[in-house]
Amino acid sequence: MTASPFPVLRLKPKADARRIRHGHPWAWSDDLVLDRRSRKIAPGALAILEDAERQPLGVGIATVEARIGLRLLDRDASAKIDADWLRARLSAALELRTRIYDQPFYRLVHAEGDGLPGLIVDRFGDTLVMQPNALWLEERLDTLTALLSELTGALTILKNGTSRARAAEGLPEEMAVLTGDAPDGPIPVPMTGATYAADVMGGQKTGLFFDQRPNHGFAAGMAQGARVLDVFSHVGGFALACLAHGAQSALSVDASEAALALAGQGAELSGVADRFSTRSGDAFDVMTALQGEGAQFDLVICDPPAFAPSKQALQQGLRAYERVARLAADLVAPGGTLILCSCSHAADLSKFRMACLRGIGRAGRDPRLIYTGFAGPDHPQHPSLTETGYLKALAFRLMP
């Protein structure tokens, strides 16, 4: 038997190897034997993971000084993590999306959900935006770029290196054009009957949030003839989908005037600008002002940023979600619908639902839960990682 070219990390005798055998892709540093030899393994280096009896569990990326000591890449410890291995993972991700979507606008790679820890790739037609959020990816950037070009035929590949995860890996914050030419303006993105304007160079994240697509669809199905309020609207995600499906009007609220300008461009592209309006400002202040004006809407959607991005921020985040629910419920007409969203993985579905119900109750409204939604299938969830199932959407009918 040929000796492995990789160093070995071993679980402590009291560590639960079954958790990893049963599917969990991470080994915690606290569960590893960290001696002088193992502490010399460079961050981002490939390493074999063994249980306490020296039975191999797989090969992965070592980061022994971090909380997650190793992220498994392959459960075959003899696997070669080379260009062919990467091609197979990327091909599998692409094949799934092309089965689901008839147009090339989707999340192409969703990190552990596609067996590629730290890698995010969003597709905007002939343009890909890649977020390599881990050192092992940064070291293979040229190979990844070449493979993505080969497999998708994309003319332009952009690197968005602005995430918090990169800082945690000691990687620089940067934007770069890896192949092709940077778009000279927003990219039109057809989705849920509307057309959105995605700023892939200067917008939030990769320029557009594909994850809400199924929840946009649910809201759009409720929108015929409705007055719609879309709070924390970004580029008009819910508002434009609702207008495309017959909403009477839609008001988008966001603190970013740049995002609202893109929403306006999307309304023009969608042919619904005559029924669309925007209001810039702090969402809590704007909702309070709308209540003072006596405004009422048939459908209110709130899709705020992650108020609970970590366990340490959970209680404060839940109070913020409760406040959103209370203010938003006051703006829903009798018998109308309130959709509340969370992208905080630290706030699980049960905790988020209870925060929403507390807020609705404080507003004196009587809710009925009519829909629970998650991210679309281009954001596959790893069953062992709640982080990959971060998005929740709850729709309540507020009784007349």
pLDDT in tens, 351-393: 999 999 999 999 999 999 999 999 999 999 999 987 778 999 9
Closest alpha carbon to 72 in 22, 33, 38:
22
Mean pLDDT calculated for residue range 332-348: 96
Per-residue pLDDT, 3: 56
Any idea what DSSP says for residue 215? H
Which pair of tokens denotes residue 365? Answer: 């409204």
Q: Cβ contacts of residue 149 below 8 Å, gap of 6+? A: 157, 179
Domain ranges of the chain: 8-74, 83-179, 191-398
Closest alpha carbon to 318 in 363, 353, 288:
353
Q: pLDDT tens digits, residue range 180-210?
A: 999 999 999 999 999 999 999 987 778 899 9
The reply to whether the predicted model has a pTM over 0.75 is: yes
Instruction: Give the CATH fold of the 83-179 domain.
Output: Transcription Regulator spoIIAA (3.30.750)
Any idea what DSSP says for residue 388? G
Any idea what DSSP says for residue 239? H
* Residues β-bridged to residue 389: none
Per-residue pLDDT, 191: 97
Per-residue pLDDT, 387: 76
Per-residue pLDDT, 163: 85
In CATH, the architecture of 191-398 is 3-Layer(aba) Sandwich (3.40)
The beta-strand segments (E) located in 192-331 are 194-198, 227-231, 249-254, 276-280, 297-302
Per-residue pLDDT, 1: 43
Q: pLDDT tens digits, residue range 305-332?
A: 999 988 899 999 999 999 999 999 999 9
Mean pLDDT calculated for residue range 152-162: 96
Q: pLDDT tens digits, residue range 247-258?
A: 999 999 999 999
Q: Does residue 122 register a pLDDT over 80?
A: yes
Report the distance separating Cα 297 and Cα 367, nearest Å.
16
Report the distance separating Cα 25 and Cα 214, nearest Å.
27
Give me the chain's average pLDDT, please.
95
Question: Helix and strand tally (H, E) in the chain?
Answer: 12, 19
In CATH, the architecture of 8-74 is Roll (2.30)
Any idea what DSSP says for residue 312? G
Report the distance separating Cα 223 and Cα 298, nearest Å.
8
